[in-house]
Amino acid sequence: MSAERYDVVFIGSGINSLAGAALLARGGRRVLVLERENRLGGAIWTAEITQPGFVHEVLASWHPLFVGSAAYAELADELHALGLEYLNTELPTGWLGPDGRAAFLTTTHERNVEELEALAPGDGAAWDATVAQFMPNADLSFGVLTTELWSRAGAGLATKAYRRLGRRGLVEFGGNVLVSARDWLTETFDSSSTHGLLAPWVLHTGLGPEAAVSGFMTQVIAVAIELGGMPVPKGGGVKLVDALAGIVRAGGGAFETGRDVEAILVENGKATGVRADDGETIATSRVVANVTPTQLYGRLLAGADLPEAAREAGRRFRYGRAEMQIHFALDEAPSWDGDDRLGQTAVVHLTPGLDGVSRAVNEAERGLLPAEATVVVGQPLAVDPSRAPDGKGILWIQLQELPRRPTGDAAGEIDTRDGAWTDELKERYADRIQARIARHVPNLESALLKRVVLSPTDIERADVNLVGGDIYSGSCALDQNLLWRPRPSLPGHTTPIRGVYHIGASTHPGPGLGAGSGTIVAQALLRENRARLALSGLGRHLG
């Protein structure tokens, strides 16, 4: 094996690795990032996949989590100097029901209060109260999502909460965290339009509206949208990837793409390096694996001496619903029927409302193609017009309620055969969705230049961590979330092997572009190195 040239080797180049590597490189650590695909970024993939001049986010698109992250707070100046520019909008999200009723959430609190009050007397006041109650403890809510919970920092957060809220207050806070979206929405707001506006956001946390914690997650997202809008990098997510990679390179770090790591090398319970699938080995005592637990324990550490709990965590880690993406390139801007604001809104959800989301989630979880899916209509040009030639249109469509292996169609129209996501199946399902959108966007089909559909199988092919097309790399049900992610038997980011750290969407704080797990581990490694340097300095001094 070659001599150790790198302090830390990352497996995979998703946002968590890129942010973690950038923080470490900036802190003087020599880092290497190994990526099996021929591009960096994992689920951030910007490409002209329909027509030249139409810049699509093939997978992830919206960056509120990154812009609100600890990594961005730390790296923003350098990222901007390297060409990253965030654009934003005052109209981040809206809802459109089948009967043409619509509702919007803006970035101005007073406008939101007015908007919701107009939907049902009292709903505006309820929103005002929601934000007023949320804000004084926002540091605790966001803290849960940015802290290593099984650690001194996690204990510190709990102590802070106890000191501030007292025993009863803490119990109440915890209870409010557990509430489902259905219970929170129906207890708080009267209008079914308000429910329709907020309920679909639960899908973006990997949950359904009846799941524990989904009410808390909906509140966090709704408040975050009001505060932060729907930022995207000008020119696409690739600009963030390039800028983070620039920080790594400037700090002496390196990237190798087309490098599938097949094993983490271990001696005496400690990491000694990694081996790529071409047989080459790279020596290092710190490996940060941005993979699923299935891959970590079932492949990369298959040859290591592991406790049964680790093997079991790898075997029992559950994946969530599958997802599909549809990309439209249009010869003109989509012209929406109804409220003028629809065409300027970054993310519009088409659904009958809370019950519509609930029904589609339930159908997907029972293996069915939903009869009336929640259609997430992303309009990147509403925020960044530079992504298409003047006057043209782009739609980014996301369908988050799909089975990984369909056993039937809730509408009784599509033959799902043996459950495989064939090209025929994805195109037929995309036809149903296209017809739904066309009911509200009458020029969709006449303006259509090209449609590209990615099935759950295509999505996994693009990023091996998205198992079965689960875009969140593992079910976010409570027993695999927060304190218990990735698995109750093995939570957090350390592993039974010394020097091997586990990051990525499968680990706390879960999926999204917040770079939380990469940041938590980078900070821990920077502290560890500081402690080691201090000790060696002391040793020299004493010697």
Ligand X SMILES: Cc1cc2nc3c(=O)[nH]c(=O)nc-3n(C[C@H](O)[C@H](O)[C@H](O)COP(=O)(O)OP(=O)(O)OC[C@H]3O[C@@H](n4cnc5c(N)ncnc54)[C@H](O)[C@@H]3O)c2cc1C
Alpha-carbon 359 to chain mean position: 23
Tokens 């007397």 -> residue: 121
Per CB under 6 A, 12 contacts ligand X: yes
Nearer to ligand X, 372 or 463 (CB): 463
Binds ligand X (CB under 6 A): choice among 21, 22, 23, 43? 43
Half-sphere exposure of 460 (CA within 13 A, CB side): 15
Per CB under 6 A, 314 contacts ligand X: no
Q: Could you report how far apart the first and last alpha carbons of the chain are, in Å?
A: 32
| Residue among 339, 130, 88 nearest 221 (CA) | 130
Per CB under 6 A, 271 contacts ligand X: no
Select from 133-141, 150-158, 382-390, 466-474 the region that touches ligand X (CB under 6 A): 466-474
Per CB under 6 A, 275 contacts ligand X: no
Binds ligand X (CB under 6 A): choice among 7, 9, 54, 62? 62
Per CB under 6 A, 15 contacts ligand X: yes
Spatial distance between the Cα atoms of 336 and 277, rounded to a whole number of angstroms: 50
Binds ligand X (CB under 6 A): choice among 106, 188, 325, 475? 325
Residue 249: CB partners within 8 Å, gap ≥ 6?
25, 255
Are residues 145 and 138 in contact, defined by beta-carbon separation less than 8 angstroms?
no
User: How many CB atoms are closer than 10 A to CB 81?
Assistant: 11
Encode burial over 124-144: b for 16+ CB neighbours within 10 A, e otherwise: bebbbebbeebeebeebbbbb
Binds ligand X (CB under 6 A): choice among 8, 9, 11, 296? 11
- At 518, list the tokens: 């990469």
Binds ligand X (CB under 6 A): choice among 465, 475, 495, 523? 465
What are phi and psi for residue 41, nearest 5 degrees? 120, -15
Nearer to ligand X, 236 or 356 (CB): 236
User: How many CB atoms are closer than 10 A to CB 367?
Assistant: 16
| Residue among 388, 389, 511 nearest 46 (CA) | 388
Per CB under 6 A, 520 contacts ligand X: no
In angstroms, what CA-CA distances link 161 with 72, 135, 155, 158?
Answer: 25, 14, 10, 5
Interface size with ligand X, residues (CB under 6 A):
38
Spatial distance between the Cα atoms of 222 and 341, rounded to a whole number of angstroms: 19
Interface mask toward ligand X for 488-507; x: CB under 6 A = ----------------xx--
Instruction: Report in angstroms how near the CB of residue 15 gets to ligand X at its nearest.
Output: 5
Which residue type, as a one-letter code, is found at position 183? D
Query: Which residues partner with 256 through β-bridges?
Result: 34
Instruction: Report in angstroms how near the CB of residue 159 gets to ligand X at its nearest.
Output: 30
Instruction: Report in angstroms how near the CB of residue 199 gets to ligand X at its nearest.
Output: 18
Per CB under 6 A, 511 contacts ligand X: yes
Select from 1-9, 58-66, 148-156, 493-501 the region that touches ligand X (CB under 6 A): 58-66
Residue 95: CB partners within 8 Å, gap ≥ 6?
102, 103, 104, 193, 196, 197, 200, 348, 349, 351, 353
Instruction: Report in angstroms how near the CB of residue 205 gets to ligand X at its nearest.
Output: 10
Collapsing DSSP states into helix, strand and coil, what is residue 503?
strand
Collapsing DSSP states into helix, strand and coil, what is residue 307?
coil
Instruction: Report in angstroms how near the CB of residue 263 gets to ligand X at its nearest.
Output: 9
Binds ligand X (CB under 6 A): choice among 8, 13, 32, 130? 13
Select from 94-102, 485-493, 509-517, 531-539 the region that touches ligand X (CB under 6 A): 509-517
Per CB under 6 A, 474 contacts ligand X: no
Binds ligand X (CB under 6 A): choice among 9, 23, 157, 261? 261
Residues from 20 through 39 that contact ligand X (CB under 6 A): 34-37
Instruction: Report in angstroms how near the CB of residue 442 gets to ligand X at its nearest.
Output: 27
Nearer to ligand X, 124 or 504 (CB): 504
Per CB under 6 A, 230 contacts ligand X: no
Are residues 333 and 369 in contact, defined by beta-carbon separation less than 8 angstroms?
no
Binds ligand X (CB under 6 A): choice among 9, 21, 65, 241? 65
Instruction: Report in angstroms how near the CB of residue 9 gets to ligand X at its nearest.
Output: 10
Binds ligand X (CB under 6 A): choice among 361, 466, 500, 525? 466
Binds ligand X (CB under 6 A): choice among 456, 486, 512, 516? 512
Per CB under 6 A, 61 contacts ligand X: yes
Q: In 277-358, which ranges are E strands? A: 281-283, 287-290, 322-330, 347-350
Residue nearest to ligand X (CB): 14
The site for ligand X (CB under 6 A) is made up of 11-17, 34-37, 42-44, 59-62, 65, 260-261, 290-291, 295, 323, 325, 459, 463-466, 471, 473, 504-505, 511-513
